[in-house]
Amino acid sequence: MEKREKELCRLALEAREQAYCPYSGFAVGAALLCDDGKMYTGCNIESSSYSPSICAERVAFAKAVSEGERDFVAIAVAGANRGEMPKTECPPCGVCRQVMAEFCDFEKFIVLMVKSKNEYTKCTLKELFPWAFGVENLQKGD
Ligand code: THU
């Protein structure tokens, strides 16, 4: 997996170049690896009214899911001030974690947080998002 992990991190860094972040100045890129080997990238896209803004991770998921993908292996995320290289990890926000929880296996899905050009921190979705709310928590009528 190591070679593909590095490739995913490289793609996440590259995707940052497309970030539309005039309000925060914080450019994020993501690269999502599907079970069939395809990779989908995303960048954050902000709005002047702020709440319609969307994170890089969810853009990557939306692109993949809308192409019919349902099985996911790993995602790489890279974030830093626009024009700078990451100096530390960009952990996915809570909303993005919930979207990952919708589609991904907690034990198997890998999250790679890019730390610098050649370093990343790796964890499972379970480590990133313990005690997630899930479909099993929905109370259906008796
Ligand atoms: N952002 C992401 O794209 N992904 C994350 O996981 C954290 C935050 C974006 C949202 C906003 O455009 C900017 O980074 C600052 O919060």
Contact between 37 and 84 under an 8 Å Cβ cutoff? The reply is no
Q: Does 96 contact ligand 1 (Cβ within 6 A)?
A: yes
Q: Does 92 contact ligand 1 (Cβ within 6 A)?
A: yes
Name the residue at shortest CA distance from atom 9 of ligand 1: 55
Name the residue at shortest CA distance from atom 3 of ligand 1: 55
Q: Is the pTM of this model over 0.95?
A: yes
Beta partners for residue 76, in sequence order: 31, 112
**Mean pLDDT (the chain, rounded):** 97
Contact between 72 and 60 under an 8 Å Cβ cutoff? The reply is no
Contact between 107 and 124 under an 8 Å Cβ cutoff? The reply is yes
Report the pLDDT value the prediction gives residue 140, as an integer from 0 to 100: 73
- pLDDT above 70 covers a percentage of the chain that reads 99
The pLDDT tens digits for 27-44 are: 999 999 999 999 999 999
Lookup: tokens for 14: 């590259």
Q: Does 26 contact ligand 1 (Cβ within 6 A)?
A: yes
- Cite the active site residues: 57
